Chain A
Amino acid sequence: MTLTDSKPALLALEDGRTFRGRSWGAEGETCGEMVFNTSMSGYQEVLTDPSYAGQIVCMTYPLIGNYGVNNADAESARPWVEGFVVREASRVASNWRAEETLDAYLKRWKIVAIEGLDTRSLVRHIRDKGAMRACLSTIDLDEASLVEKAKNSPPMENRELASVVTCKEIYEVRAEGEERFHVVCYDFGVKMNSLRELARMGCRVTVVPANTPAAEVLALKPDGIYLSNGPGDPASMTKVVEEVRSVANTGVPTFGICFGHQLLGRAFGGATYKLQFGHRGGNQPVKDLQKGSVEITSHNHGFAVKADTLPEEIEVTHINLNDNCVEGMRHRRLPIISVQYHPEAAPGPHDAQHHFKRFIELMERR
């Protein structure tokens, strides 16, 4: 394969902007919310993060696929992105852990991808105009037609996607070494590494589907509740928010991350809102308001909790230094903590790993 003999592909945004490029990965057509991620490494973790369901992801780093794909770095059983946009895809995989090239992997999972377009221009457009619907195709190369398709695709606002990505049945992850706690994880699109981190700290984790009623969860007699990350608009989760509130109010230690954090915010009466283009990347500075220290963190969220809508009993513990948005909360009475970002990283820096320890401490104190 050389630069000029692959098939053309077209990416169209709902506001009429289009980008021509070349096809790689699978051929076909796909629609989703156009977002970008600024991590320079970790494309495989991004692809397999269920939180990207419903989204076409553009990597800002231009060279993707260099070190191939391997089984161990997958964050779930399959890639979840709707489509994948890069400046230049690597023809080869060069790493001792690589099992196949990224191109072969995307073909295998039928993920439509495009390369050879001005991705920086695309990113600047989204930054200025906001995340928006897009359609990516190797079949329909007519700009007007593809823009129309983008316009007709479902918007992310009020979109419920947890039911798409959550597990169908309860399953259990064993603790590594001696079992110290039993944690129930609400799976809204959980990443493997969260479960691995919990297991490493001595937790047996029971993973339950997103719509599991509070009573069923409590019947499992958990020492702690883990509310996972996941895709979609938290405002669409009215029923689940009720269940979360019931569980958390019983005083069982609860730890929410990302989507789970947003659900906790809503459960305690706060509002959530859609960010202009979200935070997606591994370099976001988050300040711990108590300690004054800064951690560099891995993010993937398009929604956030609105600080001024939170009740007195909820304290904002962390903020993002780039835009001051809420990045962490704590309940003043109950053992509930949350962070908007990803303590499990994967991809991204490990600075926030200690939040798992905070969760363990809540369970220890009980």
Chain B
Amino acid sequence: MPKRTDIHKILIIGSGPIVIGQACEFDYSGTQACRALKQEGYEIVLVNSNPATIMTDPETADKTYIEPLNIQAVSAIIKRERPDALLPTVGGQTALNLAIALSDAGVLEEFGVEMIGAKREAIKVAEDRELFKRAMDEVGLPVPRGGFAHSWAEAERIVEETGYPAIIRPSFTLGGTGGGTAFNPEEFEEIVRGGLAASPVNQVLIEESILGWKEFELEVMRDLKDNVVIICSIENFDPMGVHTGDSITVAPAQTLSDVEYQRLRDMAITIIRKVGVETGGSNIQFAVDPTNGDVRIIEMNPRVSRSSALASKATGFPIAKIAAKLAVGYTLDEIPNDITRKTPASFEPTIDYVVAKIPKWAFEKFRDAEDVLGTQMKSVGEVMAIGRTFKEALFKGLRSLEAVKPLRLRGVSDDELQRKLARPNSQRFSYITYALQHGWTIPEIYRLSRIDPWFLEQLQEVMRIQDRIEDRKLEDVPPEVIRAAKEAALSDRRIAYLTGTSEDEVRAYRKRKGIVPVYKRVDTCGAEFESYTPYLYSTYEEEDEAEPTDKRKIMILGSGPNRIGQGIEFDYCCCHASFALRDAGFETIMVNCNPETVSTDYDTSDRLYFEPLTFEDVMNIVDVEKPEGVIVQFGGQTPLNLAMRLHEAGVPIIGTSPDSIDLAEDRKRFGSLLRELGIPQPENGTATSLEEARECASRIGYPVLVRPSYVLGGRAMAIVYDEASLDEYMRTAVDASPERPVLIDKFLERAAEFDVDALADEETCVVAGIQEHIEEAGIHSGDSSCVLPPVRIEEEHLETMRHYTRELARALDVRGLMNIQFAIKDDRVYVLEVNPRASRTVPFVSKAMGVPLARIAALVMAGRSLSEFNLPEDLTEGLKNNKRYFIKSPVFPFVKFPGVDPVLSPEMHSTGEVMGVGETFGEAYAKAIMGAGLELPTSGTAFISVNEGDKGQAVVLARRLSRLGFNIVATIGTAERLREVGLNIETVFKVNEGRPNIVDHIKRGEIDIIINTPLGRTSHFDEQAIRRAALQYNVPCVTTMTGAQAIVEAITARSTKNQITVHSLQELHAASSAVHQA
């Protein structure tokens, strides 16, 4: 069937900000879908609130709306654009939910928009567990016993049938939020009540436990002619009970016989037909009883998912792209396989390697969270590794994680070991290897962990190889043992550690012995056909298929797994570098190991190496490719940390020199540079011991900001007000980065903070964007909302920042991008930090300004002169007359970590960001808040409780809220002050004053907005309880006065302007370039 000609304009909904459970895999899928359909001649309208995406680049779609993903905004877009069709299946659960909401609200019908890919009915059956269970019953397929509860009473009835342990899953929540496993009635009640509250439809599914069963996933595709193919099977290393996003997963399935596999395949085909997903991809999860082969169907996602991104990368079959083409009417046999060129997409990929995906967690950032894995996803990112054996894939994957803690545990008691093996946790893998090394048998470990003995056997085989190396001299280890170790992906570093030598020596030794990797291709077909795409992975075998060319080439080092502080923004930059350099005639080589990204799409760069970002792996590729330049500036801290070593090994790093990078990162060198330039910096020092720290802090004067050097996202960064807290900090922070000193800075209380991104080369420096933080100093820049252009600052200070930026660019000899953080206190501009690399805010600034910063930077690094681009000295100038405000707001994962205080601090906690655009500050901020998923009230009750210093400001805000029609309630001290000026205030109890207290009011839904600034140590518990309740009940809660002012402005804007105004990025950029020219 050829493509449909009755539709012309297609609306694609993205997945919004990066959150746990929904990460950049949807940028990958959305981008593929946009491109595929644009190529087919359709006009593409895209909406996504996340600016840090390739999909929201103005070139990806025809009309790009960076707007909140809610009914109001998307209705406005539909009304304006009148698309013929809506593709809801490439933007994760968010897009699917929104499409259903638009349909339920009658918007699609009113404007004649057809849903393509998956129809409303199919989505409902797949998503609504009750309907899904019924559908499965009708085709005789087994689902777990249990039922749905809408109340506690119903839940009690159901658990009688399922028994304990019982699995509880709330309906329609992301990544299983609010779910869990209950082993007793007490836990059951707690989880059920939480789950009912978390579910937007107040419904939880309660099911029999199939804990310990093996878990499998199948990726299925179907076309309009009812052809169905399975793209990939995935087996979970961790058995049922751990969310698949938190499991190590392996492709293809390893422990199923063909009879069992074909049974699952038959079921998958029956399911996709029964549910009625007409075209595109779906993901189906199965549980298999390891003792008798019984099967249960766990769930189906009628859309492109995290697993389908993984399956695409694992097989080379581009699921999202093909799904988009199927949605407009093509059939599988009409679509060619890009990799083989000669064969069609109507086949099932077969692979001749093993793929392992390993999650990356961030428990170290949520100290009070218990490190336990369950049905609620907690990982913030993942890596994928490819090897010719499971051992190779797994250990390469572990290396890709860039783990901070050493993988080897010491002195674990039997008791603890038993507990850690039995209860899934982020370190379980290390405990398994520990157990194996300490003589625990595979049956014992299996009994506790239920991890299939086959997997355990593989680990044991690696441990045995390791035993043959440990405590010997490198020269005494037979070369075939070193080879066996390399075949199992043990790193040079590990071998060096085992033999008491250095990584460089191991590398030199094995090269002397001819133990070097070769590169094999991912080709979808097990080498049955020739592959035309250099999508490569390393292995220790004979034949090399890399076939490097002799073109001019540049290698780009990616950013590895997503984590808090290093996310999609950096992948965005790497992709841009690749696109730009490809256009400029270079062959581009991407190195990365994150399967969720656009950068690891096989057609983003000319060549893709799916490899860990370690010195060893990068050097191996450099040896084969011999690039004329390597870019380390775009992938965040990961490649930057390799810069010096690569440079010393003779690798041509282009852009800002590794020495300049070091100059900016090394506190001492940087401090003297600033003194030379006469640029003020908060007083600071470094300390390698507690004594030094005490001495330094008392010299500088409290409060001080303390942190380890060379870390990401303000890891372990804290504000310390006295010596006792400093002592405590020094005890806990030292293990954050052992060999590096602790940095101590004077903390500038209540200062205003700014982020400046700039482009520079030897002659020119362009200030790309001065962003003003909405929250005051003390909150990590990644966690603060920020606005472009600045709104509360004098022009003179802006001029000073521009001046310092140019000075620093010159002094550091920046070639490409740089980011500077400034603070202004008492009318003095301080430099807090300089990063001579792409920053987190590059995509935001690029989208706001309509200037592709990363692209220009890449070209400058490759030798073009910045002056050729004809940019003004400060891009922000253009916005001034254009009356447009852009606000970036963070999104936090606190809701996934029960027991954690959702407070903002110098340590970054946000996982993603959204952008809001408006003609006023208030309008832009209102959109940013809505984009971040909060309801912005325009009426109702405001709760105000502020510290003494903030009370004057609180009066102003209370009066404004009151004028907007809000009732005001306050705690006693604040209430008294507000009454003084004649406001009508109701007093509420603090948590410890009696009941009902403020938390009760929040839980009863009586509070619509909270303004609560910290009152000091004593009320800490109170504030924490308020913040948790606000989080749980989705009530906006601001903890700084500057934040409060901003939110009141946003509320004012929403109250005075009822309709949401939307403009595409293309329109906005056309307007601002007109201003630039004028």
Among B292, B342, B346, which residue has its beta carbon within 8 angstroms of that of A294? B346
Among A36, A120, A285, A350, which residue has its beta carbon within 8 angstroms of that of B543? A120
Residues of B within 8 A of A121 (CB): 541-543
A42 (CB) vs chain B CBs: closest residue: B258
Docked CA distance A70–B256 (Å): 13
Residues of A within 8 A of B542 (CB): 19, 117-118, 121
Among A3, A94, A123, which residue has its beta carbon within 8 angstroms of that of B255? A94
Interface hits, B238-291 → A, CB 8 Å: 252-262, 265-266, 290-291
The reply on A28 being an interface residue by CB < 8 A is no
Residues of A within 8 A of B541 (CB): 118, 120-121
Known: A281-B528, A293-B226. A73 touches B354 (CB 8 A): no
Q: Check if A62 sits within 8 Å of B388, measured CB to CB.
A: yes
Residues of B within 8 A of A87 (CB): 352, 388-389
Per-residue A-contact encoding for B291-327, CB less than 8 Å = 1, 0 else: 1110000000000000000000000000000000000
Q: Check if A3 sits within 8 Å of B461, measured CB to CB.
A: yes
Interface hits, B540-584 → A, CB 8 Å: 541-543, 545
Q: Check if B347 sits within 8 Å of A283, measured CB to CB.
A: yes
The reply on B527 being an interface residue by CB < 8 A is yes
Stretch with Cβ within 8 A of A (4 or more), from B452-460, B619-627, B682-690: B452-460
The reply on A97 being an interface residue by CB < 8 A is yes
The reply on A95 being an interface residue by CB < 8 A is yes
Q: Check if B529 sits within 8 Å of A294, measured CB to CB.
A: no
Residues of A within 8 A of B293 (CB): 96-97
* Nearest chain B CB to A352 CB, angstrom units: 12
Interface hits, B463-497 → A, CB 8 Å: 464-465, 478, 480-481, 484, 487
Q: Check if A92 sits within 8 Å of B528, measured CB to CB.
A: no
Q: Check if A321 sits within 8 Å of B529, measured CB to CB.
A: no
Among A44, A45, A61, A350, which residue has its beta carbon within 8 angstroms of that of B352? A61
Q: Check if A293 sits within 8 Å of B225, measured CB to CB.
A: yes
Q: Check if A61 sits within 8 Å of B262, measured CB to CB.
A: no
| Most chain B CB inside 10 Å of its own CB: which residue of A39, A62, A117, A287 | A62
| Most chain A CB inside 10 Å of its own CB: which residue of B331, B332, B478, B543 | B543
Residues of B within 8 A of A119 (CB): 352
Per-residue A-contact encoding for B198-231, CB less than 8 Å = 1, 0 else: 0000000000000000000000000001110110
Q: Check if A124 sits within 8 Å of B527, measured CB to CB.
A: yes
Size bracket of the B interface: 35 or more
Per-residue B-contact encoding for A28-70, CB less than 8 Å = 1, 0 else: 0000000010111110110000000000000011110011001
Residues of A within 8 A of B441 (CB): none
Q: Check if A61 sits within 8 Å of B349, measured CB to CB.
A: no
* Nearest chain A CB to B526 CB, angstrom units: 4
* Nearest chain A CB to B557 CB, angstrom units: 27
The reply on B390 being an interface residue by CB < 8 A is yes
Number of interface residues of A (CB under 8 A): 56
The reply on B855 being an interface residue by CB < 8 A is no
* Nearest chain A CB to B264 CB, angstrom units: 11
Docked CA distance A360–B28 (Å): 48
Docked CA distance A347–B353 (Å): 20
A116 (CB) vs chain B CBs: closest residue: B487
B352 (CB) vs chain A CBs: closest residue: A60
Q: Check if A283 sits within 8 Å of B349, measured CB to CB.
A: yes
B259 (CB) vs chain A CBs: closest residue: A73
* Nearest chain A CB to B413 CB, angstrom units: 29
A123 (CB) vs chain B CBs: closest residue: B527
Q: Check if A96 sits within 8 Å of B291, measured CB to CB.
A: yes
Known: A285-B347, A287-B333, A321-B333. A62 touches B352 (CB 8 A): yes
Q: Check if A349 sits within 8 Å of B344, measured CB to CB.
A: no
Q: Check if B343 sits within 8 Å of A321, measured CB to CB.
A: yes
The reply on A88 being an interface residue by CB < 8 A is yes
- Per DSSP, chain B at the interface is loop
Q: Check if A292 sits within 8 Å of B225, measured CB to CB.
A: yes
The reply on A345 being an interface residue by CB < 8 A is yes
Docked CA distance A258–B975 (Å): 88
Among A2, A284, A347, which residue has its beta carbon within 8 angstroms of that of B258? A347
Q: Check if A38 sits within 8 Å of B350, measured CB to CB.
A: yes
The reply on B525 being an interface residue by CB < 8 A is yes
| Most chain B CB inside 10 Å of its own CB: which residue of A40, A72, A117 | A40
Residues of B within 8 A of A120 (CB): 352, 388, 520, 526-527, 541, 543
Q: Check if B257 sits within 8 Å of A73, measured CB to CB.
A: yes
Q: Check if B254 sits within 8 Å of A66, measured CB to CB.
A: yes
Docked CA distance A95–B257 (Å): 8
Residues of B within 8 A of A282 (CB): 348, 350
A119 (CB) vs chain B CBs: closest residue: B352
The reply on B928 being an interface residue by CB < 8 A is no
Q: Check if B526 sits within 8 Å of A61, measured CB to CB.
A: yes
The reply on B351 being an interface residue by CB < 8 A is yes
Q: Check if B225 sits within 8 Å of A345, measured CB to CB.
A: no
Q: Check if B457 sits within 8 Å of A94, measured CB to CB.
A: yes
The reply on A90 being an interface residue by CB < 8 A is yes
Interface hits, A266-321 → B, CB 8 Å: 281-285, 287, 292-294, 296, 321
* Nearest chain A CB to B223 CB, angstrom units: 9
Q: Check if B255 sits within 8 Å of A4, measured CB to CB.
A: no
The reply on A346 being an interface residue by CB < 8 A is yes
Interface hits, A84-125 → B, CB 8 Å: 87-88, 90-92, 94-97, 117-121, 123-124
Among A3, A285, A322, which residue has its beta carbon within 8 angstroms of that of B529? A322
Residues of B within 8 A of A260 (CB): none
The reply on A348 being an interface residue by CB < 8 A is yes
The reply on A7 being an interface residue by CB < 8 A is no
Known: A67-B257, A94-B255, A123-B527. A4 touches B350 (CB 8 A): no
Docked CA distance A345–B484 (Å): 37
Docked CA distance A281–B529 (Å): 13
B266 (CB) vs chain A CBs: closest residue: A350
Docked CA distance A266–B528 (Å): 28
Among A39, A118, A287, which residue has its beta carbon within 8 angstroms of that of B350? A39
* Nearest chain B CB to A233 CB, angstrom units: 22
Q: Check if B258 sits within 8 Å of A73, measured CB to CB.
A: yes
The reply on A78 being an interface residue by CB < 8 A is no
Docked CA distance A348–B254 (Å): 16
Residues of B within 8 A of A70 (CB): 257
Q: Check if B258 sits within 8 Å of A321, measured CB to CB.
A: no
Per-residue B-contact encoding for A142-175, CB less than 8 Å = 1, 0 else: 0000000000000000000000000000000000
The reply on A127 being an interface residue by CB < 8 A is yes
* Nearest chain A CB to B347 CB, angstrom units: 4
B480 (CB) vs chain A CBs: closest residue: A4
Q: Check if A283 sits within 8 Å of B543, measured CB to CB.
A: no
Per-residue A-contact encoding for B504-532, CB less than 8 Å = 1, 0 else: 00000000000000001000011111100
Residues of A within 8 A of B342 (CB): 322
B457 (CB) vs chain A CBs: closest residue: A92
Residues of A within 8 A of B343 (CB): 285, 321-322
Known: A94-B255, A120-B352, A296-B348. A4 touches B481 (CB 8 A): yes
Docked CA distance A346–B347 (Å): 18
Docked CA distance A292–B461 (Å): 49
* Nearest chain A CB to B956 CB, angstrom units: 68
Among B262, B346, B484, B525, which residue has its beta carbon within 8 angstroms of that of A4? B484
Q: Check if B348 sits within 8 Å of A349, measured CB to CB.
A: yes
Residues of B within 8 A of A345 (CB): 262
Q: Check if B526 sits within 8 Å of A92, measured CB to CB.
A: no
Docked CA distance A96–B452 (Å): 11
Known: A294-B333, A322-B343. A3 touches B484 (CB 8 A): yes
Interface residues of B (CB under 8 A from A): 225-227, 229-230, 233, 252-262, 265-266, 290-293, 331-333, 342-344, 346-354, 388-390, 452-454, 457, 461, 464-465, 478, 480-481, 484, 487, 520, 525-530, 541-543, 545
16 pairs, CB–CB < 8 Å, chain A vs chain B: A4-B481, A41-B252, A60-B350, A60-B526, A62-B388, A62-B389, A63-B354, A87-B389, A94-B453, A94-B454, A94-B457, A95-B257, A119-B352, A123-B528, A282-B348, A322-B529
Given contacts A127-B530, A285-B343, 6 further A-B contacts (CB under 8 A): A3-B484, A4-B481, A60-B527, A120-B352, A120-B527, A123-B528
Q: Which 6 A-B pairs have the closest CB atoms?
A: A42-B258, A60-B526, A121-B543, A94-B454, A347-B258, A283-B348
